[in-house]
Amino acid sequence: MNKSIKGILIIVLLFIIIYFLQINFFSWFNISGVMPNLFVILVLFIGLFVGNKLGGVFGLAIGIILDITFGRTVGVTGVLLAIIGLIGEYFDKNFSKDNRMMIILVSIACTILFEVGMYIFKFATLKIDIDIPAFAITLLIENLFNSLLIIIFYTGIKKIGYYLEDTFKGRKLLTRYF
Amino acid sequence: MKNGKTSVIGVLIATVILIVIIVVSNWGNEKMSFIQNGVSLITIPIQNAFAFVKDKINNNDQEISDIDSLKNENKELRDENTKLKEAERELEVLKSENNTLKDYLNLKNKYADYSTIPAYIVERTYSNYDKIVIINVGSKDGIDINMPVISESGLVGHVISVTENSAKVQTIIDTASTVSSTISTADESILVKGTISNNEQLKASSIPANATVLQGDAVVTSGLGGIYPKGILIGTIKEIVNTKNQTDRYANIQTATNFNTLQTVLVLTAK
């Protein structure tokens, strides 16, 4: 099987696993009703390891699927996730992926970007009442949850990430040590 | 090597922290039984040890004379146990089916004046800021946009989009949801909106200055707005928050429907 197709299949499989974890498992395994946002982490991970082109494309595709399944309008989730996929490579060029703290900080920044973007869009289109304290607390718990999951699964994330990086960019694992 | 150890310790600490946070944050009414279970977990082995020593002293322990017969007996009991477990599983399935059918029947009786379509929640949104659910009936079952959705306990929300086999329901706890309602003790209309922070609480605003609102008052749909019929229970007043300006006061409403465990719903259609 072509290496790139194998890489894409791995990403699709990751999306399916994350989808069912997010929809089923985390609907009861949550902190005071607040779930993590694994889709943001997945798209960021694709952008960081695979590059901005596939990051953007997968971000857009995943967002559109989520919009079709759960959204009121189609597009906004796709656009925001595509932005996260696109800027993933920027973070890769400027920071080290081998640093767990860096991955956590980048994921916090991306989660804030995504959720604030969604909230503003919801406010603009549905005229909802803005409740900044409640929004901030929920966002804080969501980021805490995301960060703890990254700490726990960092080794696995890195292994799959470098495999995909090698597949799509042709880099060898050792290059990161130079 | 040291880094590897630190990494493993970090992962273990993070896992423990995550589990502790989730357990503590979801402590509800089961808090006491959880503590009791924890205490009994420690005390029961000690009690058993004491009982064993006591039996020994009183020479009440039985001599094991026939190991073969005990082995046979043990095997028979294991077989019997497996059969009982299978029967129990079958019973659980039947019980679950029976409960679902009972739920449907209760709902149908309660809203006999309307045509209803029973449905099951198949998915809940991934977002912490939206409260949308997907139900397993769609346009081929007669579902259309803006149809009200109810549970056995009260109002759930309304249909916002439909496919052939499923429908999206915006629940009343969604921040984009606004329901025109009335308090059972007053005639004036109030607006009930969803909040981000709580899955079982709504915020009632636009309460008329002269309206007397009391804790425990029932809140029902007013019939205004064109989506929800009049008189469907939304919840009860949990708390009234008074502000300097009487017109800005609001009330927190405890929803009649438990959205965390909600599975069976009815879609109300025109008769």
pLDDT surpassing 70 at residue B108: no
- Contact list in A for residue B25 (CB cut-off 8 A) is 30-32
What is the pLDDT at residue B200? 87
Query: B128 and chain A: CB distance < 8 Å anywhere?
Result: yes
- Contact list in A for residue B129 (CB cut-off 8 A) is 115, 118-119, 122, 135, 138
pLDDT surpassing 80 at residue A14: yes
CA–CA dist A124, A121 (Å, integer): 5
Cβ atoms within 10 Å of A143's Cβ, excluding its own: 20
Facing B197 at nearest CB: one of A119, A134, A152: A134
Q: Is residue B187 situated within a structural domain?
A: yes
What is the pLDDT at residue A144? 95
What is the pLDDT at residue B230? 86
Q: B200: domain range? A: 178-255
Question: Tens digits of per-residue pLDDT, B36-78?
Answer: 566 566 766 776 776 677 666 665 555 555 677 888 888 899 9
pLDDT surpassing 70 at residue B26: no
Question: Tens digits of per-residue pLDDT, A81-119?
Answer: 999 999 988 887 787 888 888 889 999 999 999 999 999
Q: What is the SS3 assignment for B269?
A: strand
pLDDT surpassing 70 at residue B27: no
What domain count does chain B have? 1
Facing B175 at nearest CB: one of A32, A128, A149: A128
What is the distance in angstroms between the Cα of B226 and the nearest Cα belonging to chain A? 18
pLDDT-derived band at B29, boundaries 50, 70, 90: very low
**Cβ contact B177:B171 at 8 Å:** yes
What is the residue type of B40?
Answer: S
Pairing relationship of beta strands B132-135 and B250-255 according to DSSP bridges: unpaired
**Cβ contact A85:A74 at 8 Å:** no
Is A34 close to B128, i.e. CB distance below 8 A? yes
Cβ atoms within 10 Å of A49's Cβ, excluding its own: 26
Query: A57 and chain B: CB distance < 8 Å anywhere?
Result: no
Note the helical H segments in chain B: 2-25, 31-57, 67-110
Closest by CA to A92, choosing from A145, A55, A40, is A55
pLDDT surpassing 50 at residue B131: yes
What is the pLDDT at residue A172? 53
Is A148 close to B193, i.e. CB distance below 8 A? no
CA–CA dist A78, A56 (Å, integer): 9
Closest by CA to B126, choosing from A68, A157, A104, A85, is A68
pLDDT-derived band at A32, boundaries 50, 70, 90: confident
CA–CA dist A99, A112 (Å, integer): 20
What is the pLDDT at residue A178? 46
Query: B161 and chain A: CB distance < 8 Å anywhere?
Result: yes
pLDDT surpassing 80 at residue B194: yes
Cross-strand bridge partners of residue B169: B133, B159
Is B168 close to A70, i.e. CB distance below 8 A? yes
Cβ atoms within 10 Å of A35's Cβ, excluding its own: 25
Q: Which residue has the higher pLDDT, B155 or B60?
A: B155
What domain count does chain A have? 1
**Cβ contact A7:A54 at 8 Å:** no
B5-24 in b/e burial notation, b at 16+ Cβ within 10 A? Answer: eeeeeebeebeeebeebbee
The rounded mean pLDDT for chain B is 81
- Contact list in A for residue B161 (CB cut-off 8 A) is 72
Containing B218, the helix (H) or strand (E) segment is: strand B218-221
Tell me the residue length of chain A.
Answer: 178
* A8 alpha-carbon distance from chain centroid: 16
What is the pLDDT at residue A42? 94
What is the arithmetic mean of pLDDT over B211-221?
Answer: 86
What is the pLDDT at residue A148? 94
What is the 3-state composition of chain B as percent helix, strand, coil, each rounded to the nearest 5? 35, 25, 35
Facing A138 at nearest CB: one of B18, B125, B128: B128
Least confident piece of the model among A51-55, B92-96, B162-166, B237-241: B92-96
User: A113 to each of A44, A110, A132, how far by Cα in Å?
Assistant: 12, 5, 15
What is the pLDDT at residue B61? 52
Cross-strand bridge partners of residue B150: B155, B266
Closest by CA to B117, choosing from B102, B94, B136, B145, is B136
Least confident piece of the model among A58-67, B108-117, B246-255: B108-117
pLDDT surpassing 90 at residue A169: no
Q: A23: domain range? A: 3-177
CA–CA dist B147, B165 (Å, integer): 15
Determine the Cα angle at B189 with ends B131 and B253, to 5°. Answer: 45
ipTM of model over 0.95? no
What is the 3-state composition of chain A as percent helix, strand, coil, each rounded to the nearest 5? 80, 0, 15
Q: Which residue has the higher pLDDT, B95 or B57?
A: B95
CA–CA dist B218, B174 (Å, integer): 20
What is the pLDDT at residue B109? 67
Say which CATH number the domain at A92 has: 1.10.1760
Query: A132 and chain B: CB distance < 8 Å anywhere?
Result: no
Say which CATH number the domain at B240 has: 2.40.10.350
Q: What is the SS3 assignment for B134?
A: strand
Query: B21 and chain A: CB distance < 8 Å anywhere?
Result: yes
Q: Is residue B73 situated within a structural domain?
A: no
* Maximum average pLDDT range among A15-19, B31-35, B74-78: A15-19
Q: Is residue B152 situated within a structural domain?
A: no
pLDDT surpassing 90 at residue B231: no
**Per the structure block, which two tokens stand in for B34?**
């959880």
Question: Tens digits of per-residue pLDDT, A121-168?
Answer: 988 888 888 889 999 999 999 999 999 999 999 888 888 998 888 888
